[in-house]
Chain A
Amino acid sequence: MVDSCCNLRGFKLRRCAFTLLLCTSTKLTPRLSMGNLAANEGLSVFVILVWLAINAFLFVHFYMAFLVDKWFYTRVLLGQALSWARAPAACLNFNCMLILLPVCRNLLSFMRGTIQFCSRTAARQLDRNITFHKLVAYMIAFHTAVHIVAHLFNFEYFMDAQLNRNSSLLPFILSEIGNGDNASFLNPIRSNETNPTIVMFTTIAGVTGVVITLALILIITSSMEVIRRSYFEVFWYTHHLFVLFFIGLVFHGFGRIVRGQTSASLTTNDPRLCADRFEEWGRNDSDCAVPVFAGNPPMTWKWIVGPMILYVCERLVRIYRSHQKVVITKVVMHPSKTLELQMKRKGFHMEVGQYVFIQCPSVSRLEWHPFTLTSAPEEDYFSAHIRIVGDWTQALYEACGGDKTEPQEAWKLPKIAIDGPFGTASEDVFRYQVVVLVGAGIGVTPFASILKSVWYKRIQNKDVFTKKIYFYWLCPETQAFEWFADLLQSLESQMAAKSVTDFLSYNIYLTRWKEQEAAHFWVHHEEENDPITGLKQKTLYGKPNWDSEFTGIASEHPGTKVGVFLCGPPQLGKSLEKQCLTHSEADVKFIFNKENF
């Protein structure tokens, strides 16, 4: 359907500087942001509340667990700082267990397939996996900070106990325990001729702690939105420090540095009775023996071994998928540096609104990049439109012969691997009689698939439920129009051929423009075809007046349910939701689907 470069009539497009808004290629994981999450009541909020509740419970439970007698002498040295260190440690165990799960996308896909039969709302929660991953990461960073601050105090108190060498002080007496056998000690700092920094670098817990904290900090700084969106490779490769993180985490507790009184010792030395009589410990006439201490066995590995195994399986599945044969059937170079790849794979089945991860081994063995599928399920191939914005996309473009003028031989095209498709299908679009689709800028990509699919359904089956589509495309730049305008042109001509002219009504809004461009539009305003898109439907300028649009739609379709779908920024979502609420009167109902995309 979309198989020719669109040469916009008479208007040379100036290549503007690349704005950050559009500088992602069509690598759309479904639009997730903290704002969207807040807007989605129900299941999402419930999941988050349960997660926070478990965190709070673990924190309080483990805080209290270190207030028992077993830790009495430890608390003599450390005070409350012991509990303040152990409580976030427990939460860290829990969150590090959780953090690997949302990124096992094949596992989630499998779960989605199973859940979708019961509840589409529940299935759609799985689309928010990356948001949840980020939340858990923030929680890990927070608990790490609390844990480290508490341990700074702990180290200081341990050091104090060794430095104040006065036999009338209990902390000093406690620190002297275990000097003989080097096993029953309480204070991990064994002498006063050291300092906390040296101790940190000479204990397993200290060294692993430094390694995992540094790994965490590097992962977080390279995951900032600016870095992630502009320099995906930096983000992707640095993120693999998580391997170091998890290995360090497993060994972090092996030194058994946190020590409490053994249960045997508690029978011979009851802290409540013996703490004040520490001068008498071990004497023949005393009923207080010298206390004996031991460390807890490491627990962290029990929490994270399961998810680690699942993640290893996930990576193995991705390796398997990368060996499945994918054939590029057509490569189309669109203007404005957009590459369209049409591909086929045996057994590939997609639905509208889904996305895939694409890997090109000849470009990079390690990188998988997500792209929304722009073909319809009714077509015999699947396609993705890829914007050339970074190193990987540029290399892919060259590998597919984009920089050459003559057509490429089929066998010269690079090998491709596909993982997916992922994402909950946007089938809800087909459940409404009247549909309003709003796409902002690059957010229009999933709508390519939907529009094509709706059109195919219309011409193949006369009884398709959807009778009318209102499509709004808000674009800040003329540059991004071409391949999608081509699609709309194709639809326009096909509809004219079938004399179906009132099925699709589309409106394109140019929300930003340059002064010279504006002058050109002004001059060519009266021509039959639009100067930018070449379509018969004229491009409009500025932002749409939603109030009048919704009023118009309401008056055209009384007594129907109108579905409103958005792929764009959250502020637009809020204003559309408001419009839906205000225009939903007795006979016409606007339903804003805020979970899709």
Chain B
Amino acid sequence: MGKIEWAMWANEQALAAGLILFTGGIVGVAGLFRGWQFAAYAVAAGLFVCLLEYPRSRRAKGTGVERKWQYGLTVCVKAFGPLTRNYYARAFLHAALCIPAGFILATVLGCVCLGIASLIYLSVSQILLQYFYILFSPCRKLVETVTRKRLFHY
């Protein structure tokens, strides 16, 4: 399984964890549970993780598949440079984010899921892979159309 890019799965897991964290936080805040402040934190943390993990990375080998509408977020995430590009950084970021969510029941599931994602990222970072940004190139389509028109008259 050496060639498998575990980072792809870590990305899916982190995105799911972000959603679960967010949902758990909403429930905690809406029900005004004890410790709802942790739930409020989880709403913010969950949203942040979702936005961070939504842009899907280009694969080291082969081409990747973008998620819908990810271009804008890719630009934002890319602006943070090595902080978001490096998998070590992501692993520690997720580990740090998930800890406060472990204090109340509503968000503990999100905490564990994010922790798992962090572990997968940590195992990937051993290989020192980097996050490659998929950025759609508007020039590419133009060249293709021009070539087609020039050569084949339609």
Contacts and interface: CB of A to CB of B under 8 A. Distances in A.
Contacts of A234: 1, 4, 6, 9
B144 to A, nearest CB: 8
B10 to A, nearest CB: 9
B106 interface: yes
A226 B8 contact: yes
B109 A148 contact: yes
A198 to B, nearest CB: 9
A156 B28 CA distance: 10
A515 B143 CA distance: 9
Contact of B3 (A18, A145, A220, A391): A391
Interface residues of B, number: 42
A217 B24 CA distance: 15
Interface of A is mostly: helix
Contact of B147 (A19, A145, A391, A515): A515
Given A145-B23, A213-B109, A152 B12 contact: no
A226 B65 contact: yes
A391 B13 contact: no
A560 B109 CA distance: 62
Given A226-B56, A231-B4, A149 B12 contact: no
B62 interface: yes
Contacts of A18: 61-63
A153 interface: yes
Contacts of B8: 226-227, 230-231
Contacts of B16: 217, 220-221
B13 A218 contact: yes
B33 interface: yes
Interface in B94-111: 103-106, 108-109
A152 B106 contact: yes
Interface in A220-245: 220-222, 224, 226-227, 230-231, 233-234
Given A153-B31, A221-B12, A233 B1 contact: yes
Contacts, number: 102
Given A234-B9, A391-B4, A20 B64 contact: yes
A153 B16 CA distance: 22
Interface string B4-22: 1110110011011000100
B27 interface: yes
Interface in A17-61: 17-20, 23
Nearest to A232: B4
A518 B113 contact: no
A541 B154 CA distance: 11
Contacts of B151: 518-519, 522
Interface in A88-129: none
25 contacts: A18-B62, A19-B62, A152-B28, A152-B31, A152-B33, A152-B106, A155-B105, A156-B31, A195-B105, A197-B108, A213-B109, A214-B116, A217-B113, A221-B13, A221-B16, A226-B56, A227-B12, A231-B4, A231-B5, A231-B8, A234-B1, A234-B6, A234-B9, A522-B151, A541-B152
